[in-house]
A and B are shown apart, each in its own frame.
Chain A
Amino acid sequence: MPTANLTKAALLMLCIVVVSLISWEYMWRHKGYDRGFNDDVGLWRKNRLKVYQPQNEATVFIGSSRIKFDLDIPTWEKTTGEKAVQLALHGSNPRPALVDLGNDENFKGKLVIDITEGLFFGPRPEIEMNQRVQYGQEASPAQKAGDQISFALEHQFTFLQKDLFSLNAMLTDLRIPNRKGVRGDIIFPPKFSYVTFDRQEILTDTFVKDSAMLRWQTDIWTMFGALSDEPGAGGDTLQKILEEVKTAVAKIIARGGKVIFVRTPSSGGYWAHEPIQYPREKYYDQLLRATGCKGIHFQDYPDMANFICPEWSHLTKEDAVEYTQALIKALQQQNWFSNPRK
């Protein structure tokens, strides 16, 4: 092809690409989607690097999704004067992160471990959390540089939220029926949540006000076993889990670190069945006994006990602010903070 024609082709390509991307971005913003970040290995690693801050400057949080939604980081930081380092991961067991911190000789900080019994004591192989731990240890220089560029771009563009707007996400959203027996991908309601740069996850107002969306989400939880009364892990399996946690916690405390467990609120279908599947005495209380740590269970505190999770599992943004203030108060009673502001 003559150079002139190839030049025209390249210019046409640039025009189409630029106009299309601008239109694409504008369309999603116009439809009310919040700017969010991909909660990927890079974002997790960014926070993982922050765990080494002194005890009077930061608290590290691990857990599943509940603490990600329920801890309002701006409220925490404003009230306590400390940073909140969020390492929790939705749908995941935090034990690999705990073991990682336990084995990290340089971690001597304060650690809050949120317990969602079905995940914490569950048998699921922890692929996603293990990927993050591994990435945190082994990211190459090129990957680290790429993460910084990703963050800069994700600050600007809504359409870069992969779980919502990628080609595969949109193809999955066509919801083509599957053959009998094939589970297929789980499709969360649109505008369910978004993730901030600090890895806080927030239920959108649109989702919270839409009863059909709420029902869609509780149906997903039901599919995941929220209404099941089948007992959780027991016997040797439970003992191994307790031993693993006890060992990791002991290492952290031996180095001068502090550890506390929390049980964030659940309601509706989840709270109706979790105490049956995972009786408090057998799981949460036994965990505290095994590790010698204190715990803050939402049921034990009047200012935490009455929250309603709109889809049974996570608090709204407004309630997260209140819960965070209540959590801070409870931690103060445990002498968690050494900063005079608290």
Chain B
Amino acid sequence: MVFNSYTFIVFFIIILILHNLPFTWKMKKINLLLASYIFYAAWNPPFIILLWISTLIDYFVGIKLHQETVKAKRKAWLFISIAGNLGLLGFFKYGNFLLENFTLLCQSLGLDYHPAKMDIILPVGISFYTFQTLSYSLDMYKRKGLPEKSLLDFSLFVTFLPQLVAGPIVRPDELIPQFKKPVTATKQQLLQGLLLLSLGLFMKVVMADTMLSGASDAVFDAARPLPAVDAWAGVLAFSGQIFFDFAGYSTCAIGIALCFGFFITHNFLYPYAAIGFSDFWRRWHITLSSWLRDYLYIPLGGNRKGNVRTYINLMLTMLIGGLWHGASWTFVVWGGLHGLYLGLEKFIDDKTHKITKLVLTHKKTITGFLYALFTFFLVNITWVFFRAQGFKKAWDMLKSMFGMQNGDPLLSTLALIKVAIVIPLMVLFHWLLRNTTVVQAAAKLPWWLVGTIWAVMILLLVWSQESTGSFIYFQF
């Protein structure tokens, strides 16, 4: 089920009504859990079993990690959790990728190996919920908090429907405590939640799908060289599309959770106003970058083992971050580019401290804006690898973008105008709002302006009629 569908609207109204009826708190949590399972099963019912497997493994491992004192046995329990979660992920997401690369390796060694391709469906959200439950087991291993005794609360943590299929990746200590006391949304929270839900849907349906996806898809699907204008328009369109699509989903998730009285952490904070890449990763898919920082980068040593080791740790973390997105070497290269940028930035900043200074001032200066634009430019280069279906297409795109090859124009004038209007406005909005949030910004506006903007978003949403297109991050 996707948020931008009639089915979800009806479903959401029903569960919201149920949540506000005078049931016991336990009953309400059961309703939410069942609703979450229905939400997931509405895509493909049998894959509920994977959710159960992930839930049960980490529930019991968490308890065992707390009870066990022998180090070797604790490691064994942790291994079960890691193997279980990453095993599921590895099979469903990387099964064919691993097989293809193993086949290539065998053939390069002269071995005649031609296995049949496995017909594996990628379960929606698997990258998200496995990382979410894994963070619980890792926290229990580090003795960060007590294990959750209630299977109901733990199951709800794993499957909470707003963030189940595309994040934000929520930490156990952020969400589970909220299940302990009865909560329904106040009027303020309900209205804020509905406003955020409207905004999220507007971002996805109007901005990503209606305004930008056409240009992006046309350019990246083109089987011929393109002129620079078209290539850049397509890449910029994708940079906007992926932001509006993914941030739109996260905004919907936060809004939906708020409608039930729950708080979910932000996942985006105007990333295209980032000054440098450290800043970018504090603003883009924040919950993934903080997960990778806490459970990969820091355990690898972080920046505590000298400069060389820091660069290696940065690169490893970003390569794995790239691979998390998809079973393809282009995603790894995407991650590697970010690792390279982060390394270079650290190298320059260690010597000059200029970048850190700009980021920490919180002031919006011209210099800061220019650095932000340069960061945005470099991010767009990485998006080529993220979106392209293979390296050949990625190279062709880059060659077109930098005028090293030419071709017949592809995009209509309308498509170019859409990109030319939406992308600069997006970058400008990011810059203007980089130190605040939507809710804080809306609170400063007169009520009639908020109401009018809200109405315009809803009307454009209805007018777009681009319903049921799935979110980009569902494929990760």
A interface residues with partner B (beta carbon < 8 Å)? 1, 3, 5-13, 16-17, 20-21, 140-143, 145-146, 149-150, 153, 160, 162, 165-168, 171-172, 174, 176-182, 184-185
Contacts and interface: CB of A to CB of B under 8 A. Distances in A.
Interface in B5-28: 5-8, 10
12 contacts: A6-B195, A7-B191, A10-B194, A10-B454, A17-B458, A20-B459, A140-B1, A143-B468, A146-B6, A167-B463, A168-B210, A184-B414
Contacts of A185: 412
A141 B47 CA distance: 13
A153 B467 CA distance: 13
Interface of B: 1-2, 5-8, 10, 41-45, 186-188, 191-192, 194-195, 206, 210, 214, 408-414, 417-418, 442-443, 445, 447-448, 450-452, 454-455, 458-460, 462-468
Given A143-B468, A179-B413, A5 B5 contact: no
Contacts of A20: 455, 459
A143 B469 CA distance: 11
Nearest to B455: A16
Contact of B410 (A174, A176, A182): A182
A103 to B, nearest CB: 17
Contacts of B5: 142-143, 146
Nearest to A182: B409
A165 B187 CA distance: 35
Residues of B contacting A: mostly? helix
Given A166-B465, A178-B413, A182-B412, A142 B447 contact: no
Given A142-B43, A168-B210, A181-B409, A162 B465 contact: yes
Given A10-B195, A13-B451, A149-B7, 7 more contacts: A6-B192, A7-B187, A7-B191, A9-B454, A17-B458, A140-B43, A171-B418
Contacts of A177: 413
Given A142-B5, A167-B460, A12 B455 contact: yes
A143 B6 CA distance: 9
Residues of A contacting B: mostly? helix
Contacts of B214: 168
B6 A149 contact: yes
B411 A3 contact: no
Contact of A3 (B191, B408, B445, B463): B191
Nearest to A161: B465
A323 B285 CA distance: 60
Contacts of A16: 451-452, 455, 459
Contact of A6 (B45, B408, B450): B450
B7 A145 contact: yes
B467 to A, nearest CB: 8
Given A3-B187, A11-B451, A13-B458, A140 B414 contact: no
A182 B10 CA distance: 42
B44 A140 contact: yes
A244 to B, nearest CB: 23
Given A3-B187, A150-B6, A181-B408, A9 B451 contact: yes
B40 to A, nearest CB: 10
A167 B465 contact: yes
Of the candidates A10, A172, A185, the one having the most CB atoms from chain B within 10 angstroms of its own CB is: A10
B229 to A, nearest CB: 9
Contacts of B463: 165-167
A163 B343 CA distance: 49
Contact of B447 (A5, A146, A176): A5
A167 B412 contact: no
Nearest to B192: A6
A177 B412 CA distance: 8
A147 to B, nearest CB: 9
A1 B452 contact: no
A179 B414 CA distance: 10
A181 B1 CA distance: 41
B466 A10 contact: no
Nearest to B10: A149
A255 B70 CA distance: 67
A149 B115 CA distance: 44
Contacts of A146: 5-7, 467-468
Contacts of B41: 141
A207 B442 CA distance: 48
B455 A141 contact: no
A173 to B, nearest CB: 10
Contacts of A1: 442-443, 445, 447, 450
B450 to A, nearest CB: 4
A160 B6 CA distance: 13
Contacts of B464: 166-168
A20 B454 CA distance: 13
Given A140-B42, A149-B10, A10 B191 contact: yes
Chain A to chain B: the 9 pairs with minimum beta-carbon distance, closest first: A12-B451, A142-B42, A16-B455, A9-B451, A149-B6, A142-B1, A5-B447, A146-B7, A13-B454
Nearest to A153: B6
Nearest to A14: B455
Given A7-B187, A140-B42, A176-B413, A167 B210 contact: yes
A141 B10 contact: no
A142 B410 contact: no
